[in-house]
A = this chain, B = another copy of it.
Amino acid sequence: MDSVTIFYSQENGGIIANMNEEKLSAIRHSLAHLLATAVLEKYPDTKLAIGPVIENGFYYDFEFPAGVSITPEDLKEFQKRMKKLTNKEEPFVGREISLKEAREMFAGQPYKLELIDEFSKEGQTLTAYTNGNFVDLCRGGHVNSTKELNPDAFALTHTAGAYWRGNEKNKMLTRIYGLAFETREELDAYIAHQEEAKKRDHRKLGRELDLFTFSDLVGPGLPLFTPKGTAMRDAIIEKIHGMQKKFGYHNVSIPHITKKELYETSGHWEKFGDELFKVKGASDTEFVMKPMNCPHHTQIYASRPRSYRDLPIRYTEATAVYRDEQAGELLGLSRVRSITQDDGHIFCTIDQIEQETENIISVIREFYESLGMWSTEGSWVSLSVRDLETPEKYLGDSTHWDMAEEILEKVAQNESVPYKRVSGEAAFYGPKLDFMFKDALGRERQLATIQLDFVMPTRFSLEYTDEQGKRQTPVMIHRAIAGSLERFLAVIIEHFAGAFPLWLSPLQVKVLSIGAAHKEYAAKVCAALRETDIRAELDDSDETLGKKIRNVKLEKVPYFIVIGDQEMADEQITVESRDQRKIGMMTVDEFIRNMKAEIAGKSKQW
């Protein structure tokens, strides 16, 4: 067998082998038939629904006879039966059948009969595929023979309830899921990857590290951030704020609602009206929750006359936007209804775009370097341009688009970022640079973004007076460094498996007293650290030191300090680090100096 390059698809953590996709699909499809064969062997009265191929495998939906409930033991048995079938060398044979024949063939199968009538009404040809004694209504796409199926490269994994045709008014069926690959190595790699992903799951780590919570009373998709999670959010915002200070950004602050007229003007109402949260009070005015911040920010720009001397004007704000995601699509912090954007908008002249964009890239570079995520293998930039074949998807005039795409490409070259031109990925108002990073599990994540916009300034009639006293329209640049804080946190919790760099750690150091006599000094040390804004906690409980250290390791705190007799006598502290390295004794001041150096990304003295 040819060697297979394995890579991971964006966002879903799924594995795709770049072998013959068609063949892999045939394997999975064939295994779905084998699953149904095995099920009918054991429970002949089972009603069959459908059994499609999915990413990494397949599933089949069954209505089992009354009283039968499928256990993990059943899955093992079905899997065993399937393996046996793969040894039999039975061919998959298909043929066209008439409506009448089909009705007779699937007489005891109500779901199949429903499909047969439907296909027939649509004028579709009906086909049936047979392997051994089993026959299924099916459009084909199998391996030639069961012998081609590798018995060690598939596994039944779990069951779930699923309504017939996804409609909750229909009967609830039992869905059996299977993984399937061409080789055992691929299956094992996928399972190992999934187990690692499970360990790193930000929902699990978020709970264990006490970073955020959800409440049934507040509702799904609406995370509440605990002190530790908020410390991380604040650290991210502060980090970005510090990095872009030298470029002249200013915080602004806007309300979370607006009259819909704002979005009618911006063009968002027409494009996204249905996805917006509508707000209604006692009065007649109808409000909308903001799903983005740019239109509000234009109103601050528009609040007074601007001259070329004032430009660029750079607004930044970390503020929540609200989007109504379907409950079923919500997932931890990855997909939420309240989204905190680390947002920024620059209003400038056309001549200033290049410098401003370079400044933003320099902040993005510095920020992701502080996370060790810049220029790692697999990180790249998508130069997201319009699709010239669907001009109706974009607003604004084509010469502006040409210019904007050219400027972004030039900047990407100047800044030596590895970029690819991706057609059709532009925003409706302009082209973008989207920064793609690879996480520790090889999953590609889009985080930072820079977007040029010639459209919104025109729609809001924004103006400045140029050197000649003439009125001109400014350009708008949208930018995000971390992107949505929720999604960013989900990504980096999983990337670091909770062991964050010092500057980002919710808890940076824990002070452990050995015995009762050391509590007071330990408390003093902890207070001194906090006074300098180091995130420190005290453990002066009566647990053993061993237990306290184990707790610190579980919490993945970068440093801990041990206080005993020696430390008190010398007025020093013993410092150890998360990676089990004992750093040694030093004064509190020395420790603070080194912590501050590491937090600022400078070199430490130990």
Is A274's beta carbon under 8 Å from chain B?
Answer: yes
A9 to chain B, nearest CB (A): 28
Is A19's beta carbon under 8 Å from chain B?
Answer: no
Contact call B253/A222, Cβ cutoff below 8 A: no
Contact call B226/A303, Cβ cutoff below 8 A: yes
The answer to whether A253 and B281 touch (CB under 8 A), given A258-B217, A296-B218, A299-B218, is no
Complex CA distance for A276 and B282, rounded to whole angstroms: 8
Chain B contacts for A216, CB-based, 8 A: 261
Is A259's beta carbon under 8 Å from chain B?
Answer: yes
Q: Could you say which of A229, A251, A275, A304 has the most chain B C-beta atoms within 10 Å of its C-beta? A: A251
Contact call A227/B213, Cβ cutoff below 8 A: no
The answer to whether A530 and B218 touch (CB under 8 A), given A230-B253, A251-B231, is no
Which residues of A in the span 255-303 have a Cβ within 8 Å of any Cβ on B?
Answer: 255-259, 261-262, 265, 274-283, 285, 287, 289, 295-296, 299-300, 302-303
Give which listed residue, B230, B280, B300, contacts A280 with CB less than 8 A.
Answer: B280
Of the candidate stretches A131-139, A322-330, A363-371, A469-477, the one touching chain B is A322-330
Identity of the chain B residue whose Cβ is nearest the Cβ of A261 in the assembled complex: B217
Contact call B282/A274, Cβ cutoff below 8 A: yes
Chain B contacts for A274, CB-based, 8 A: 282
The answer to whether A218 and B259 touch (CB under 8 A), given A254-B224, A287-B277, A324-B283, is yes
Give which listed residue, B225, B227, B283, B289, contacts A279 with CB less than 8 A.
Answer: B289
Contact call B299/A215, Cβ cutoff below 8 A: yes
Q: Interface readout for A307-349 with B: 1 if CB under 8 Å, 0 if not?
A: 0010000010100101010110000000001101000000000
Give which listed residue, B223, B280, B320, contacts A256 with CB less than 8 A.
Answer: B320
The answer to whether A234 and B213 touch (CB under 8 A), given A275-B282, A280-B277, is no
Chain B contacts for A276, CB-based, 8 A: 281
Is A582's beta carbon under 8 Å from chain B?
Answer: no
Main secondary structure, interface of A, reads mixed
Is A602's beta carbon under 8 Å from chain B?
Answer: no
The answer to whether A256 and B256 touch (CB under 8 A), given A279-B277, A282-B324, A300-B213, is yes
Contact call A338/B210, Cβ cutoff below 8 A: no
Is A165's beta carbon under 8 Å from chain B?
Answer: no
Contact call B219/A287, Cβ cutoff below 8 A: yes
Contact call B253/A303, Cβ cutoff below 8 A: no
Is A531's beta carbon under 8 Å from chain B?
Answer: yes
The answer to whether A227 and B287 touch (CB under 8 A), given A222-B258, A278-B280, A282-B324, is no
Chain B contacts for A233, CB-based, 8 A: 253
A345 to chain B, nearest CB (A): 12
Is A121's beta carbon under 8 Å from chain B?
Answer: no
Is A100's beta carbon under 8 Å from chain B?
Answer: no
Chain B contacts for A299, CB-based, 8 A: 213, 215, 217-218, 224
Is A413's beta carbon under 8 Å from chain B?
Answer: no
Q: Interface readout for A526-560 with B: 1 if CB under 8 Å, 0 if not?
A: 01001101000000010000000000000000000
Complex CA distance for A234 and B237, rounded to whole angstroms: 13
Is A581's beta carbon under 8 Å from chain B?
Answer: no
Which residues of A in the span 34-54 have a Cβ within 8 Å of any Cβ on B?
Answer: none
Contact call B217/A262, Cβ cutoff below 8 A: yes
Q: What is the interface size of chain A, counting residues whose CB is below 8 A from a CB of the partner?
A: 70
Give which listed residue, B219, B251, B281, B289, contacts A259 with CB less than 8 A.
Answer: B219
The answer to whether A327 and B279 touch (CB under 8 A), given A215-B302, A252-B230, A262-B218, is no
The oligomer's copy count stands at: 2
Identity of the chain B residue whose Cβ is nearest the Cβ of A313 in the assembled complex: B227
Complex CA distance for A217 and B220, rounded to whole angstroms: 31
Is A245's beta carbon under 8 Å from chain B?
Answer: yes
Is A250's beta carbon under 8 Å from chain B?
Answer: yes
Which residues of A in the span 481-531 have a Cβ within 8 Å of any Cβ on B?
Answer: 527, 530-531
Is A246's beta carbon under 8 Å from chain B?
Answer: yes
Contact call B277/A337, Cβ cutoff below 8 A: no
Give which listed residue, B213, B215, B303, B327, contacts A215 with CB less than 8 A.
Answer: B303
The answer to whether A252 and B227 touch (CB under 8 A), given A257-B289, A530-B245, is yes
Complex CA distance for A92 and B255, rounded to whole angstroms: 55
Chain B contacts for A281, CB-based, 8 A: 275-278, 324, 337
Identity of the chain B residue whose Cβ is nearest the Cβ of A210 in the assembled complex: B304
Identity of the chain B residue whose Cβ is nearest the Cβ of A320 in the assembled complex: B256
Contact call A224/B246, Cβ cutoff below 8 A: no
Complex CA distance for A276 and B280, rounded to whole angstroms: 9
The answer to whether A254 and B225 touch (CB under 8 A), given A210-B304, A309-B541, A324-B283, is yes
Known: A230-B253, A253-B340, A282-B324. 16 other contacts (CB 8 A): A215-B302, A217-B258, A217-B259, A217-B261, A218-B255, A218-B258, A218-B299, A224-B296, A225-B253, A230-B251, A231-B251, A255-B337, A256-B338, A257-B322, A275-B281, A277-B281
**23 pairs, CB–CB < 8 Å, chain A vs chain B:** A217-B265, A217-B295, A218-B254, A218-B255, A218-B259, A219-B285, A223-B255, A224-B296, A224-B303, A225-B254, A227-B251, A227-B315, A230-B252, A230-B253, A245-B531, A255-B338, A256-B256, A256-B320, A256-B338, A277-B280, A277-B287, A283-B327, A285-B327
Query: Which residues of A are at the interface with B, using a C-beta cutoff of 8 A?
Result: 210, 213, 215-220, 222-227, 229-231, 233-234, 245-246, 250-259, 261-262, 265, 274-283, 285, 287, 289, 295-296, 299-300, 302-304, 309, 315, 317, 320, 322, 324, 326-327, 337-338, 340, 527, 530-531, 533, 541
